[in-house]
Amino acid sequence: MAISFIDRITVSDVRYRLPPGAGSDAVHVEPEYCLAVTQLFSGDGKTCGTGFALTLGEGNKLVCKAIDMLARPLKGKPIDELMSDFGRTARELADDPMLRWLGPHKGVVHLALASITNACFDLWAKSRGVPLWQSLLDLAPEQLVALLDLSYLEDLLDQDAAVEMLRRELPRRAERAAILQQGYPGYDTSVGWMTYDDEKVRELTKRAIDNGFSAFKLKVGSRDRARDLRRAAMLRECAGERGTIMFDANQQWTLPGAREMCKKLSQMKPLWIEEPTHPDDMLAHAALAREIAPVKIACGEHIPNRVVFKNFFESQAVHYAQADCTRLGGVSEFLTVALLASKFRLPVVPHVGDMGQIHQHLVLFLHIALGNEPLFLEYIPHLRSHFVFPAELEGGRYRTPQEAGASTDLKELLEQGCS
Amino acid sequence: MAISFIDRITVSDVRYRLPPGAGSDAVHVEPEYCLAVTQLFSGDGKTCGTGFALTLGEGNKLVCKAIDMLARPLKGKPIDELMSDFGRTARELADDPMLRWLGPHKGVVHLALASITNACFDLWAKSRGVPLWQSLLDLAPEQLVALLDLSYLEDLLDQDAAVEMLRRELPRRAERAAILQQGYPGYDTSVGWMTYDDEKVRELTKRAIDNGFSAFKLKVGSRDRARDLRRAAMLRECAGERGTIMFDANQQWTLPGAREMCKKLSQMKPLWIEEPTHPDDMLAHAALAREIAPVKIACGEHIPNRVVFKNFFESQAVHYAQADCTRLGGVSEFLTVALLASKFRLPVVPHVGDMGQIHQHLVLFLHIALGNEPLFLEYIPHLRSHFVFPAELEGGRYRTPQEAGASTDLKELLEQGCS
């Protein structure tokens, strides 16, 4: 089933309107969930790799245009060859001299790299006829590390160290593989969108508990701070003393404001407070991380690349690394960040810009290969009807995907010949 | 001469091929200098504000597309009203919910904001019939601060503190205004592009000395480290013991590599070493800043916004803040960063993505209004034939521009009705 080469590359700007209130947060009242989709078609016409980045609106077309430009060097490449040494390709694409100035390694062009990279990984797993998590587990440590661009991490993690980290954990893989049967626990973000009224949050939390969830997230960061506090207390009440709750401020507070609100919200005993202030303000995150203990800081959906993650880890500015393979430079840089997090003994709890489709594979790999705690994976169901193989949860746990690839295929694009 | 309102907005993708070798650095062998240009036409048809961001190649069209989307809310706005409270507009544009996800506040969309903002400032100064430096000096401290978005700086610099900083310096303005007659000193970046051969570097340095320059920059960061060291020693020799030399690595070294090279290059007694490693690696910059003293660290052309600058300043990761109003969100965020730098008593020495056209105005303002040392302003002449009013140097000093506006008009776009 060897795939010859990448014969054709298409880009699609796919947008979905959500039900009222869904996806709303402190920044976005009525977001569109938009996917900038890359499809890579194999030379035999039988297989197509699908990858995407998430954006929230019209800007999606900028990412699509960037994919057009950035993906060109992949045309004609044999996929096996490409993936035997993907770290080099990732670096070459990221350093395209015509586009590098626009970042580097952040913003529109980096989102384009995410989409392209994710398509490569999907095509690769499909070409091997196995799910992405399995493709990754099948690699020897050296092969896995060859997928990664570790440049600018040399002071902490070079290739030898990365190989050694993976090798050291090999003996524990068999035991940890139990997660494949158990399923990876989910947590429910969709009980607590910003514009949902209190009654709806209560109802959805109750329903989520009935469906087996025990962890729930609430959007905060509204202009009405009393509302935030009231709803936070309400969620604690609904979840019960033993339920896990998290609050997400979506960057809305200034540092002084975050100090005040985190202190008050801490009384509701959340596991974490997420994105308390501007995502670039690492020192503010580090200060808050010290000040609000034992409550933790989660962030990462707007940390653009491995170099910034390295700085956050070294500064103890984050406890839960919410890496996202649709924000970082795709699966490759996601894995790099996870190795780095593992070095700092910090858990990766992905932000799911992909609605969990790709990340359900990645967290299985991280748990089995690195011992990343099987904490939980965010669950957001709004786009599930659009995926060919939507993530399936049972009793609050992701069912281990069995289909070949990264579970990224979209029904709308099937007719374009993707299989 | 009141301008009614912004009647029409045009965007132009303007690209220039450079002479062989010009502009080459450790990343770019044959860069195109590209401008993503915004033009704002007044309702009376008589005046046009021109702003731009610099990019280095085909990606320029992404910035142009982003300008198209981002600039829409400006249509129909009275320019005086807009500029009486520009900080609010800057924040609203930067937080456009359709585009914010793509950054936030970095990359393609932020470059688009730079272009738009710079066009607003040019139009505003033209509408007042004075050069930009004069327009800024004419404002009371409260009015100047109203041009700025200080959000996420509250822990260090709020509106009152910013006003107070400017007010405190008012008595010293008259004395400092002598710079207007003397001219602001320049330094010459164009003696030492990466692919120029040794002979050419020698010749150009000699010529620059004859033209009155006493400070010169050399590109380093080549794969051939011996070449870097040889040329660095050569530049020191050409410049003489009393000449000022700087080395620019354009992000090419890893931290271990930077340690080794900075140590060796320090023997040539440069004033600074610029962008020694990845621009996002703040902790690496901070470590190098400690280790290579008394040689200084310069960076900023790839620091995307005021929040990241705040972190660099607080971490003592930079000595010379190379803010660039074509990289930051335009003149407005440039001024914000300069106020912040001033609070830390750090000099701003702009990177001139605008070839110094706008920055020649801004450094005059910074010196007179804030006491920013009149160190020197980078000089890069490659595009001078394309500007209607190119920056003029005499005896190594920028001649104070006298024309109304920000000196941004391009000859190519004049026929499109810009005046």
pLDDT digit string (tens) for A124-177? 999 999 999 999 999 999 999 999 999 999 999 999 999 999 999 999 999 999
Residues in B 333-392 with any Cβ partner in A closer than 8 A: none
User: What is the CATH number assigned to the segment(s) B173-414?
Assistant: 3.20.20.120
**Is A314 within 8 Å of chain B by CB?**
yes
Mean pLDDT of A266-289: 98
Residues 6+ apart with CB under 8 A from B194: B21, B24, B25, B26, B29, B219, B221, B222
What residue segments make up the domains of chain A, in order of their start? 6-129, 173-414
- Concerning whether B310 is annotated as a catalytic residue, the answer is no
The CATH number of B6-129 is which of 3.40.605.10, 3.65.10.10, 3.30.390.10, 3.40.50.300?
3.30.390.10
What phi and psi values does residue B143 have, to the nearest 5 degrees?
Answer: -70, -40
Q: Going by C-beta distance under 8 Å and a sequence separation of 6 or more, which residues neighbour residue A340? A: A153, A156, A157, A306, A309, A310, A313
- The residue of chain B with its CA nearest to that of A276 is B152
B67 half-sphere exposure, CB direction, 13 A CA radius: 31
Supply the pLDDT for residue A134: 98
Do A298 and A322 meet the contact criterion of CB atoms below 8 Å apart? yes
Q: Distances in Å between the alpha carbon of A396 and those of A365, A379, B185?
A: 19, 9, 66
Residues of B whose CB is below 8 A from A97:
27-29, 31, 56-57
Residues 52-111 of B with CB under 8 A from A: 54-59, 61-63, 65-66, 69, 95, 97-111
Q: B95: which residues sit within 8 A by CB, 6+ positions away?
A: A27, B104
Query: Which residue in the set A254, A257, A280 is minimally distant from B308, CB to CB?
Result: A280
As a whole number of angstroms, the distance between CA B66 and CA B54 comes to: 14
Instruction: Report B:291-310 residues touching A (Cβ under 8 A).
Output: 302, 304-305, 307-308, 310
Give every CB contact of residue A120 below 8 A, 6+ residues apart in sequence. Answer: A40, A49, A51, A74, A79, A82, A83, A86, A89, A330
Q: What is the pairing mode between strands A48-55 and A320-321?
A: unpaired
Judging contacts by C-beta atoms under 8 Å, the chain A residues touching residue B109 are 59, 62, 107-108
Mean per-residue pLDDT of chain A: 96
Separation between Cα atoms, residue A18 and residue A403, nearest integer Å: 27
DSSP output for A205-271: HHHHHHTT--EEEEE---S-HHHHHHHHHHHHHHH-TTSEEEEE-TT---HHHHHHHHHHHHTT--S
Write down the catalytic residue from A217, A285, A319, A351: A351
Rounded Cα distance between B218 and B215, Å, is 10
B351 is a catalytic site residue: yes
What are the pLDDT tens digits along chain B (419 aa)? 455 899 999 999 999 999 999 999 998 888 899 999 999 999 887 899 999 999 999 999 999 999 999 999 999 999 999 999 999 999 999 999 999 999 999 999 999 999 999 999 999 999 999 999 999 999 999 999 999 999 999 999 999 999 999 999 999 999 999 999 999 999 999 999 999 999 999 999 999 999 999 999 999 999 999 999 999 999 999 999 999 999 999 999 999 999 999 999 999 999 999 999 999 999 999 999 999 999 999 999 999 999 999 999 999 999 999 999 999 999 999 999 999 999 999 999 999 999 999 999 999 999 999 999 888 999 999 999 999 999 999 999 999 999 999 999 999 998 665 54
**Going by C-beta distance under 8 Å and a sequence separation of 6 or more, which residues neighbour residue B253?**
B221, B261, B276, B277
Of B58, B66, B111, nearest to A69 by CB-CB distance is B58
Q: State the Cα–Cα distance between residues B114 and B53, nearest whole angstrom.
A: 6
Contact A280 B307 (CB under 8 A): yes
CA-CA-CA-CA torsion sign (B205, B208, B212, B213): negative
Res. A3 pLDDT band, cuts 50 70 90: low
- Please answer whether residues A154 and A113 qualify as being in contact, where contact means their C-beta atoms are separated by less than 8 angstroms: no
* Cβ count near A26 (within 10 Å): 19
